Structure 1
Amino acid sequence: MAKSILVIGATGNVGMPLTKMLSENGYDVKAAVRSSTNVEDLRALGVETIQADLRNFFSLMNAMNLVEKVFFAVPFVSNFIPLSMNVIKAAEEAGVEHLVKISGSGAQYEAIQLARWHRSIEREMMKTGLHYTFLRPNSFMQNFVNFNSGTIGDHSSFYLPLGEGRVSYIDARDIASVAYHVLTEKGHDGQAYELTGPEAISCAQVASTLTNVLGKEITYCGITEEESRQMLIEEGLHESIVDARLELYQLNRLGYSAAITNTVTDITGKSPYTFEQFARDYKERFSR
């Protein structure tokens, strides 16, 4: 029986477009979902959905039955590492051949907590003897929708402690495109790919682009680290996640997230999305 590709995190920013690409190009793709997940979009693609809980090793093993390759994106939560370890152990036990992990930009340097978490998971993957590939993207453009569209819609502003720091934000659709090629082509085993967008931009430039696209003045309000901490706590984030986010913001603010790579183009043959293209495609999400 032919083996398939399993996408863990199939309803996410990267997982959904990846699953769509695999399905539309004729690959046997399965989506691991929680029982509470809205799966209508996946089923509309004709994708088989399998209930699996990242906290439940045996449910993951069951989802990986007759699976050759696994892509996984684990949510950034306080038990991020144990959840990831469950995926790796289940892949070993189930006889998966190739694991593809969404990691983080600069994970190899372990300069901040988030990088250290990602690198510890990468090391565990390297110990297994399985084929593996690490995708190390910079911050997602979609984060402006996920975290800032509320205040942009309500009062035309967004709040971050990034000062004038420039970041080479990447569209999650480009990450999905890279993942598609990694999963369907040879030559990616043992590789770690640093993924960025085509330009490094500041939050002031983000605001200017959104102003032009949305047709109304959008303002970037720079805030202090302590103000940001309070906002994140009020969102209900675990203290460890708050600290990790603030460390990442500090790197952004200091300009350490501005490097640009050509990896997206090298692997996919296409230029990555600019922030303006992203903003136009997601215009309705900012206008809600």
Structure 2
Amino acid sequence: MLKTPKPKILITGATGQVGSKTIEFLLSNKEIEIVAAVRSKEKAIPFEAKGISTVMLDFDDEGTYPTAFEGIDRVLIVTGYTVDMLRQSKALLDSAKNAGVKHVVHLGACGRDDTTVAHWAWHQLIERYIEWSGFSYTHLRPETFMQNLLSYGGKKAIENGVIHAYVKGARLSWVDVDDVALVASIALASPELHTGKTYRLGYDAKTFTELAQLMTAIIGKPFFYEPLAPEVFLQSMIDAGAEMAYMGCVYDHWKRYANGSIPGADDTFDNFPEITGQEPTKWINFIEKHKSEFAY
């Protein structure tokens, strides 16, 4: 009897937070083959040391797409924080379609279907293109990552117990990156159970003041929230030479959080146990888990 080949799953963003953790969750599954997309031979080395296949894939070089998708059945698409994500995603999906990829798990952004927050809406346009292209799909819409309080933009997010953010007293919905990756891994491993689904992922709503109080109680040192004007963020991005087509959208959404004009900013959901058979991470668990990183 001929052996059926294992489905091959391509993980883009393999070196990032969600992609790398998704690979970790999939490693124990012997019914699939993982392929990590990387941009250089150096980045391939840690994966190959674990016995994980790699392919070269550069979102800005469409010539790398066809080879990367050879023999791939399912793909996790994780794009970067730039307006180029729109062009990259379309080209990537077209190449995946030509290669015969069947199931797409797309890491999107927060928001209800009628969102007008620009970079969230871009992700929803990509969702529609995935559907229009005829893929089996699972859309993931994570709320704000809890890990943003560990570091944001490559910098520590909390200095000597002081939390800075640009949203005044807004209550946000939060999710642990590990929980997002677990859902991604499950949707990739069993697409037949998760096809056609849009999973909004946010399980604990807190203001930054409430987070400071919780950290103070758990860690035993004082934490404080000092809100900054969104204009401080905007100027820092300009000074850093960031791509402003995207960062201008981020600035706008900080302003909208701060003035309370984003509907459902604190929406939370009860879908995690049904998807995973587990309870989602709440802030009290997250702070306990990362106590040493928050301590000062």
User: TM above 0.5, one fold?
Assistant: yes
| Aligned counterpart, 1:204 | 209
**1-side partners of 2:271 and 2:67: how far apart?**
34
| Aligned counterpart, 1:276 | 284
Whether 2:202 is the aligned partner of 1:189: answer no
| Aligned counterpart, 1:9 | 13
Distance 1:212 1:5, change over 3 A: same
- Aligned match for 1:257, one of 265, 275, 281: 265
Q: How does 1:172-187 map to 2 (within 5 A)?
A: 172-185=177-190, 186-187=192-193
- Aligned match for 1:20, one of 18, 21, 24: 24
Whether 2:99 is the aligned partner of 1:94: answer yes
Report the CA distance between 1:176 and its aligned residue. Answer: 0.9
Q: Secondary structure at the match of 2:194?
A: coil
| Aligned counterpart, 1:140 | 145
Q: Secondary structure at the match of 1:67?
A: coil
Whether 2:123 is the aligned partner of 1:118: answer yes
Whether 2:88 is the aligned partner of 1:80: answer no
**2-side partners of 1:72 and 1:122: how far apart?**
11
Deviations 1:56-83 (A, max 9, x none): 2231221111111001110111312112
Q: Secondary structure at the match of 2:216?
A: helix
1:192 maps to amino acid: T
2:289 maps to amino acid: D
Q: Secondary structure at the match of 2:174?
A: coil
**2-side partners of 1:107 and 1:51: how far apart?**
35
Distance 1:82 1:152, change over 3 A: closer
Deviations 1:203-228 (A, max 9, x none): 11222333345443232210112122
1:271 maps to amino acid: E
Q: How many residues align?
A: 287
**1-side partners of 2:59 and 2:134: how far apart?**
22
Query: Which entry has the higher C-alpha Rg, 1 or 2?
Result: 2
Answer whether contact 1:30 1:48 (CA < 8 A) is retained. Answer: yes
Distance 1:149 1:100, change over 3 A: closer
**2-side partners of 1:36 and 1:223: how far apart?**
41
Which sections of structure 1, spanning at least 5 residues, go unmatched?
none
Alpha-carbon RMSD across the aligned residues, in angstroms, is: 2.3
Answer whether contact 1:136 1:192 (CA < 8 A) is retained. Answer: yes
Deviations 1:237-277 (A, max 9, x none): 22222221123324433273111111222211111111232
**1-side partners of 2:167 and 2:131: how far apart?**
34
- Aligned match for 1:222, one of 227, 251, 255: 227
Deviates more, 1:33-42 or 1:173-182: 33-42
Q: How does 1:6-85 map to 2 (within 5 A)?
A: 6-26=10-30, 27-35=32-40, 38-39=43-44, 41-85=46-90
**2-side partners of 1:89 and 1:176: how far apart?**
25
Q: Secondary structure at the match of 2:66?
A: helix
Whether 2:238 is the aligned partner of 1:233: answer yes
**1-side partners of 2:92 and 2:38: how far apart?**
13
Distance 1:245 1:152, change over 3 A: closer
**2-side partners of 1:37 and 1:278: how far apart?**
32
| % identical aligned pairs | 25
Which sections of structure 2, spanning at least 5 residues, go unmatched?
none
Distance 1:25 1:107, change over 3 A: same
Answer whether contact 1:108 1:115 (CA < 8 A) is retained. Answer: no
Distance 1:225 1:9, change over 3 A: same
**1-side partners of 2:269 and 2:202: how far apart?**
6
**2-side partners of 1:152 and 1:116: how far apart?**
26
